[in-house]
Amino acid sequence: MLSPPGRLARDSAFRAETLVPPGYFAVLSIAVWGPALFSGGYVLLGDMVFTPAMHPTEGLLGPARGTMNVTVVYWLAWLVSRLIGSVLLEKVVLFLLGFLPGYLMYRNAPSKNAWGRFFAGTLYAVNPFIYTRILMGQWGFVLGYALLPVVLASTLKTAREPSAARCARTALWLALTSLLSLHAGAIAVLVCAVAGLFQLRRTAAGRRRLAALAAVLGLFILLAGFWLLPAFESGESPGIGAADLEAFRTRTTSDAGLGLSVLGMYGFWKTQLDGLMPRKYVPLWPLFGLGFLALAACGLWTSRSRPRVGGEACALGLLGLTGFLLALGSRAPVTGPAFSWLFRNVGGFALFREPQKFSGLLVLAFAGLGSLGVERLATRRSADPQRHARIMRFVGAGLLVLVLLYGFRMLGGLWGQAKAVSYPRSWSEAQSLLEEDAGDWKALYLPPYWYMRFDFADSDYTITSPMPFYFTCDYVKLNALVVGGVELNAAPVDRYVRAALESGRERGNLGAMLTPLDVKYIVFARNPAGAGFDFVLRQRDLEVVRDWGDIVVLRNTSRVGRLVLCEGEGTYRDWDVLGAGARGGNLVGSWISGGSRTRIPDLTGTPVVHTERAFGTVTATVPVDAEPGTLLFAEQYDEGWRLDGEAPAEQIGLTCAFEVGDRGGRMTLRFLDPVIVIGYSVTAAGLVICLVLVGIGSRRSRKPGRDT
């Protein structure tokens, strides 16, 4: 039985272990975000755009115009924001971005030495790689990156002591990582595979452990079914090609060269951010990267044969080397051709059109192996152990200071880049104005760019346009991304809107060109990117409803409708020629299909009364005495739409058209993508299986005589 002093010592050690680490990393997170974490308003950074409405831009059942994991995450964010408010939701996300990477690395670092674990957590949370990702607002990727140490530790436990419950837990961690970010999820699968294989090599009973890893992969595939099956259906990374590889290649503006830049955890493609990077202010910054490499090499060399951590150390070494080589991308002198080949030929690899994301593996290795290096320094034999312990306290604290110095611009609210701002009152009034029109129409947001500067964001850098997330009306969903003046991922709707804008610039008929898309309102933000779009205010078929100075709402005077019954037929050669004949509502007055010449009848269609129901279902009532014709549906063409079971044709190569002939009465339009439904079902089944296995394992571990 412990004496009272022994019990006090034990309790003191327990409190230090349980309270000090989370407290340290909580303070570190507060230091990262500064006053912005506690101020009212929103922090707008790159892709991290929170709004009062948190309006989901895609339906859970499709049509899918992006990856389904992003759709689910935004729906979850919307749900939580309805419960606690979007401002508080973002503050929680901000805190977790600064807290989780460090704390989870501390908890799961291979070293048992406290200084080694604090070093690992601090380096994993504060470094140029993660600083760049946070500046770009990639909060899903950063949260997925934070889970990589957990995935690694869970994989090792499963390989060492295989059980159904452990397999399920590892699969759940993989699934959560991929839900937050497909890039982080793919990296996590690589971490799991490499760590598992190294553990197999170093242990007996290999078949059982191999079966456990196969079970983890199988359960993960089930859990990922909701995004994996639609991704397979859509094919090989649609819209991504050689232009993307060039636009997002790993770059450096440093004289140190690409290799040293990647080793120093730099190389992000957007060189406009270089002025914010710590290396501009840290003398001899490449020495830091080389120092982290040396410490990691020390940890690998001294731990490679240790029974408990040898396999993990070797796996981390291979992962770090792999991450470094892949992060160099297609321009690397030796491995570049191999990366290009993988990009062109390996399914799913095109997901990494931005290769620098692989640097996350390098940081993982630096942190994990570095903790073992610090442990080696702390445990080396000394003639005076007490003096050695005092020296190690100074060395450990010094290493933390050096890490914070190397990434110092992450501190103090990202060195002034994280500012809490409010949306202008004009935006709120514009939302109220649009809400007054209860019709079934769409809005077009201009300028039509993904990334733009907004004066109210109080930043010199671009952010994702908040308009689709702020305004709650349906809108024309554009996909194109402009990088360095090059348009990437353009879909038919992007090309059509571009043709419509050009026609409006030349002929003043933008409203007529937008009628096939059911655009009744244009919301035009007067920001720096909008300087070339003032012609929108001078269209003969658009009227200004209200101009607040920073934002303008215009109404289309041409008749629009989501469902229009037309009687005529026409043809068009291309969209540029189509603009010459567009006026009034004639683009929805006939079924216009592709042809060798352009002929647009001077007809206007008849709007059809309809009711929107849940889950992509529209009920329409066509007059029984109507002339035989075609029903035009102002949604982007997708084979998933059906009118009473019949597939659509294309209207001007953009939207849906259904031949109804002389039928009349009630008809049902429904969107159904069986693959999405099957994907959700597969995920639900996988989730049930995993939860049952975890539950059974937990019950068994609580039985007397079992190790809990």
Burial class (CB within 10 angstroms; exposed 0-12, middle 13-18, buried 19+) of 395 = middle
485 HSE (CA, 13 A, CB side):
0
C-alpha dihedral (459, 460, 465, 470), degrees to nearest 10: 20
Burial class (CB within 10 angstroms; exposed 0-12, middle 13-18, buried 19+) of 202 = middle
pLDDT digits 0-9 by tens, 406-424: 999 999 999 999 999 999 9
**Tokens describing residue 680:** 């959700």
Contact predicate 100/144, CB 8 Å: no
Q: How many helices (H) and strands (E) does the chain have?
A: 25, 21
Residue 672: pLDDT band (50, 70, 90) is: confident
- pLDDT average, residue stretch 363-371: 97
List Cα–Cα distances, 169 to 95, 213, 541, in angstroms. Answer: 25, 12, 59
Report cis status (omega within 30 of 0) of the bond before 528: no
Contact predicate 553/545, CB 8 Å: yes
Cα–Cα nearest to 507, from 430, 577, 423: 577
- pLDDT average, residue stretch 462-488: 89
pLDDT digits 0-9 by tens, 221-274: 999 999 999 888 776 555 677 888 888 889 887 777 899 999 999 999 988 888
Task: Name the β-bridge partners of 501.
Answer: none
pLDDT greater than 50 at residue 353: yes
Q: What is the pLDDT of residue 59?
A: 86
Q: What is the pLDDT of residue 378?
A: 82
pTM, whole model, 2 decimals? 0.93
Burial class (CB within 10 angstroms; exposed 0-12, middle 13-18, buried 19+) of 18 = exposed
pLDDT digits 0-9 by tens, 270-306: 888 888 999 989 989 999 999 999 999 999 999 888 8
Cα–Cα nearest to 276, from 38, 576, 45: 45
Type of residue at 39: S
Who contacts 498 (Cβ-Cβ below 8 Å, separation ≥6)? 448
> What is the rounded CA–CA span in Å between residue 324 and residue 328?
7
Contact predicate 605/632, CB 8 Å: yes
Residue that wins the pLDDT comparison between 50 and 202:
50
Lowest mean pLDDT among 5-14, 139-148, 592-601: 5-14
Helix (H, G, I), strand (E, B) or coil at 555: strand
pLDDT greater than 80 at residue 695: yes
Contact predicate 162/211, CB 8 Å: yes
Contact predicate 584/508, CB 8 Å: no
Residue 382: pLDDT band (50, 70, 90) is: low
The DSSP output letter for 286 is: H
- pLDDT average, residue stretch 395-399: 91
Cα–Cα nearest to 522, from 495, 500, 506, 507: 500
List Cα–Cα distances, 103 to 28, 124, 188, 364, in angstroms. Answer: 10, 9, 18, 13
**Tokens describing residue 33:** 């975000």
Q: What is the pLDDT of residue 703?
A: 63
> What is the rounded CA–CA span in Å between residue 212 and residue 218?
10
List Cα–Cα distances, 244 to 11, 303, 454, 486, 639, in angstroms. Answer: 56, 41, 26, 9, 27
**Per residue in 491-500, is it b (16+ CB within 10 Å) or e — as a string?**
bbbbebbbbb
SS3 readout for 52-73: CCCCCCCCCCCCCCCCHHHHHH
> What is the rounded CA–CA span in Å between residue 371 and residue 377?
10
The DSSP output letter for 46 is: B
pLDDT greater than 60 at residue 705: no
Cα–Cα nearest to 320, from 269, 358, 372: 358
Task: Name the β-bridge partners of 612.
Answer: 618
Q: What is the pLDDT of residue 479?
A: 87
pLDDT greater than 50 at residue 656: yes
Residue that wins the pLDDT comparison between 379 and 269:
269
Type of residue at 528: P
Q: What is the pLDDT of residue 422?
A: 96
In the chain, the N- to C-terminal Cα span, in Å, equals 22
pLDDT digits 0-9 by tens, 4-34: 665 555 555 556 677 899 999 999 999 999 9
Tell me what the pLDDT averaged over the chain comes to. Answer: 90
Cα–Cα nearest to 149, from 94, 199, 202, 188: 188
pLDDT greater than 60 at residue 522: yes
Cα–Cα nearest to 513, from 488, 531, 546, 536: 536
Residue that wins the pLDDT comparison between 675 and 700:
675
In the chain, what's the furthest Cα-to-Cα distance? 103
> What is the rounded CA–CA span in Å between residue 63 and residue 672?
8
In 245-384 the beta strands, taken as DSSP E runs, fall at none
Residue 498: pLDDT band (50, 70, 90) is: very high
Residue 704: pLDDT band (50, 70, 90) is: low
Nearest-Å Rg of the Cα atoms of the chain is 29
pLDDT digits 0-9 by tens, 524-575: 999 999 999 999 999 999 999 999 999 999 999 998 999 999 888 999 999 9
**Tokens describing residue 476:** 């024309």
Report cis status (omega within 30 of 0) of the bond before 447: yes
Q: What is the pLDDT of residue 235?
A: 63
Which of the given ranges, 59-68, 221-230, 329-338, 616-625, has the highest pLDDT on average? Answer: 221-230
Contact predicate 469/52, CB 8 Å: no
> What is the rounded CA–CA span in Å between residue 500 and residue 509?
8
C-alpha dihedral (326, 328, 329, 335), degrees to nearest 10: -70
Q: What is the pLDDT of residue 57?
A: 84
> What is the rounded CA–CA span in Å between residue 625 and residue 365?
73
Of all residues in the chain, what percent are helix, strand and coil, respectively (each to 5)?
Answer: 55, 15, 30
Who contacts 588 (Cβ-Cβ below 8 Å, separation ≥6)? 515, 516, 559, 560, 561, 564, 566, 604, 605, 632, 634
Quickly count: other Cβ atoms within 10 Å of residue 132's Cβ. Answer: 24
CA 103 to chain centre: 22
Cα–Cα nearest to 468, from 439, 431, 437, 424: 431
Contact predicate 488/480, CB 8 Å: yes
Quickly count: other Cβ atoms within 10 Å of residue 257's Cβ. Answer: 11
List Cα–Cα distances, 377 to 123, 171, 369, 403, 429, in angstroms. Answer: 18, 36, 13, 17, 63
- pLDDT average, residue stretch 131-135: 97
pLDDT greater than 90 at residue 330: no
Q: Vertex 246, ends 242 and 249: CA angle to 5°?
A: 125
Handedness of CA 289, 290, 291, 296 (dihedral sign): positive
